[in-house]
Amino acid sequence: MRVLVCGGAGYIGSHMVRMLLAAGHQVVVFDNLSTGHSLAAEPASLVVGDLLDVPLLETLLTTQHFDAVVHFCARSLVGESVSEPYAYYENNVIGTLNLLKAMRAAKINKLVFSSTAAIFGDPESELIAESHPVRPINPYGSSKAMVERMLMDAARAYGLCSVALRYFNAAGADPSGEIGESHEPETHLIPNVLRAALDGRNTLKVFGHDYATRDGTCVRDYIHVNDLASAHTKAIEFMANHEGAHQFNLGNGRGFTVMEVIEAARRVTGVRVPFEYAPRRAGDPPVLVASNAKAREQLDWSPTFTEIEAIIESAWRWHQNPRF
Ligand SMILES: NC(=O)c1ccc[n+]([C@@H]2O[C@H](COP(=O)([O-])OP(=O)(O)OC[C@H]3O[C@@H](n4cnc5c(N)ncnc54)[C@H](O)[C@@H]3O)[C@@H](O)[C@H]2O)c1
Ligand SMILES: O=c1ccn([C@@H]2O[C@H](COP(=O)(O)OP(=O)(O)O[C@H]3O[C@H](CO)[C@H](O)[C@H](O)[C@H]3O)[C@@H](O)[C@H]2O)c(=O)[nH]1
């Protein structure tokens, strides 16, 4: 297959690119490098461009043949989305609409879309299944929920086949150590824990320790980035015989508190991670854990990195010697 990976120079997208290339597919990456790295997209061919550049997008899609598009591009900082909502709706909603229109013009009708647990807002239950109401509480989550809605409408009107994958907390790095997570600023827990382990002056801030959880800190479902990538491959296969717009929650189905992650990082790195308690971070739900039953049943997908230590260990290999 020839696959266009939008956002393939980013953290999760670059792991997808590697997996597709390893399976023998041809891959073109489209990325504006706003948060991605050209080295991360190698050795796929990289088109540097923006989803807001409609002529460039249309030319790429109509002059080259693609069997499917995998779309990772987004702004994805929850706090920033609250202070700059227009930037989020512009990039995540209008950018995606431009992509959908260009796909329609080029008669490409298969899309895998990066959605998020943030569409669920403050969850009603600890284990979140696809039947849970979609009620985002910040513009980032709203922008992703809007795209899911567009995909349902596009399925009915234009026959677009799509799979929206709602990731919980992406974590870890490719075991080769050649690619991994590199964001500036870094807001995610595991890279910040490992930065603190590497440099004792980077004291980790633990946001809130008065939640109604087993140790007072937030619970999250950490899912390895290569397990997310393999779910995209399964989603592409799924679209070969399923029409319409589909949604799947992707996680390990098990939650860990911030303190449990810090303790697991100590076991992996041998370093007692320096931390201090800080106030709660606005918009953090206490517990987010995925039910992955639907993905297991319908996509025939299951995570391979089921232990938090194995996930952290792969990230540790990357953070000790990052290439970008
Ligand atoms: N990291 C997580 O835990 C997580 C959880 C849930 C959902 N997601 C979603 O998964 C996707 C990938 O996340 P990530 O952590 O790899 O992010 P990332 O920032 O590392 O990757 C996004 C990539 O898209 C590119 N990009 C952004 N806007 C673009 C535009 N308008 N035109 C062209 N390229 C553009 C960036 O340069 C970057 O390479 C995002 O859509 C994010 O919302 C991530
Ligand atoms: O330095 C840090 C970083 C994080 N945390 C805490 O660790 C937990 C996990 O935080 P992350 O920032 O790693 O992840 P989030 O759960 O906030 O966000 C993830 O899940 C969201 C869905 O709710 C979005 O999809 C988002 O893109 C994705 O990164 C939270 O309780 C957070 O408060 C800290 O204590 N200190």
ipTM over 0.90: yes
Dist. CA 10–CA 183, nearest whole Å: 9
Indicate if ligand 2 lies below 6 Å from the C-beta of 275: no
Predicted local distance difference test score (pLDDT) of residue 197: 97
Residue at 183 is within a domain: no
- Beta pairing class for 287-290 and 219-220: parallel
Question: Is 171 a residue whose pLDDT tops 90?
Answer: yes
Q: Are residues 215 and 310 in the same domain?
A: yes
Residues carrying an active site annotation: 140
Q: Are residues 151 and 40 in the same domain?
A: yes
User: What is the per-residue pLDDT across 203-261, written as a single tens digit (0 to 9) for each?
Assistant: 999 999 999 999 999 999 999 999 999 999 999 999 999 999 999 999 999 999 999 99
Mean pLDDT over the full length of the chain: 97
Q: Percentage of the chain with pLDDT > 90?
A: 97
Predicted local distance difference test score (pLDDT) of residue 28: 98
Tally the domains of the chain: 2
Q: Are residues 210 and 263 in the same domain?
A: yes
User: For the domain that residue 20 is a member of, what is the CATH number?
Assistant: 3.40.50.720
For the beta sheet containing 110-116, the strands, ordered from the edge strand earlier in sequence to the opposite edge, are: 45-48, 26-31, 2-6, 68-71, 110-116, 161-167, 245-250
Dist. CA 317–CA 304, nearest whole Å: 18
Question: Averaged over 67-84, what is the pLDDT?
Answer: 96
Residue labelled with tokens 């999250």: 220
Number of H helices, E strands in the chain: 12, 15
C-alpha angle 195/198/204, rounded to 5°?
Answer: 45
Quick one: which of 36, 66, 68, 63 has its CA closest to 50?
36
Predicted TM-score (pTM) of this structure: 0.98
Q: Are residues 49 and 111 in the same domain?
A: yes
Residue 169 confidence class, pLDDT cut points 50, 70, 90:
very high
Q: Are residues 240 and 301 in the same domain?
A: no
Q: Are residues 121 and 208 in the same domain?
A: no
DSSP notation for 254-272: --EEHHHHHHHHHHHHS--
Looking at all shown ligands, the one closest to residue 187's CA atom is 2
Give the ligand 1 atom nearest the CA of 182.
20
Ligand 1 pocket: which of 72, 92, 190, 220 to mutate (most atoms <8 Å of CB)? 72
Classify 16 as helix, strand or coil.
helix
User: For the domain that residue 281 is a member of, what is the CATH number?
Assistant: 3.90.25.10
Dist. CA 204 → ligand 2 center (Å): 13
Q: Are residues 260 and 160 in the same domain?
A: no
Predicted local distance difference test score (pLDDT) of residue 282: 87
Indicate if ligand 2 lies below 6 Å from the C-beta of 207: yes
Residue at 182 is within a domain: no
Question: Is 92 a residue whose pLDDT tops 90?
Answer: yes
Using CB distances shorter than 6 Å, the residues near ligand 1 are: 7, 9-13, 31-36, 50-52, 72-74, 76, 91, 95, 114, 116, 167, 169-170
Q: Are residues 151 and 293 in the same domain?
A: no
Dist. CA 118 → ligand 2 center (Å): 10
Predicted local distance difference test score (pLDDT) of residue 84: 96
Give the ligand 1 atom nearest the CA of 170.
3
Residue at 265 is within a domain: yes
Single-letter residue type at 137: I
Single-letter residue type at 55: P
Predicted local distance difference test score (pLDDT) of residue 126: 82
Quick one: which of 80, 166, 86, 183 has its CA closest to 128?
166
Q: Are residues 101 and 216 in the same domain?
A: no
Dist. CA 4–CA 244, nearest whole Å: 20
Residue at 180 is within a domain: no
Q: Are residues 206 and 152 in the same domain?
A: no
Expressed as residue numbers, the domain containing 111 is 2-171+224-250
Question: Averaged over 152-175, what is the pLDDT?
Answer: 98
Residue at 176 is within a domain: no
Predicted local distance difference test score (pLDDT) of residue 283: 84
Residue at 177 is within a domain: no
Looking at all shown ligands, the one closest to residue 220's CA atom is 2
Q: Are residues 136 and 88 in the same domain?
A: yes
Question: Is 200 a residue whose pLDDT tops 90?
Answer: no
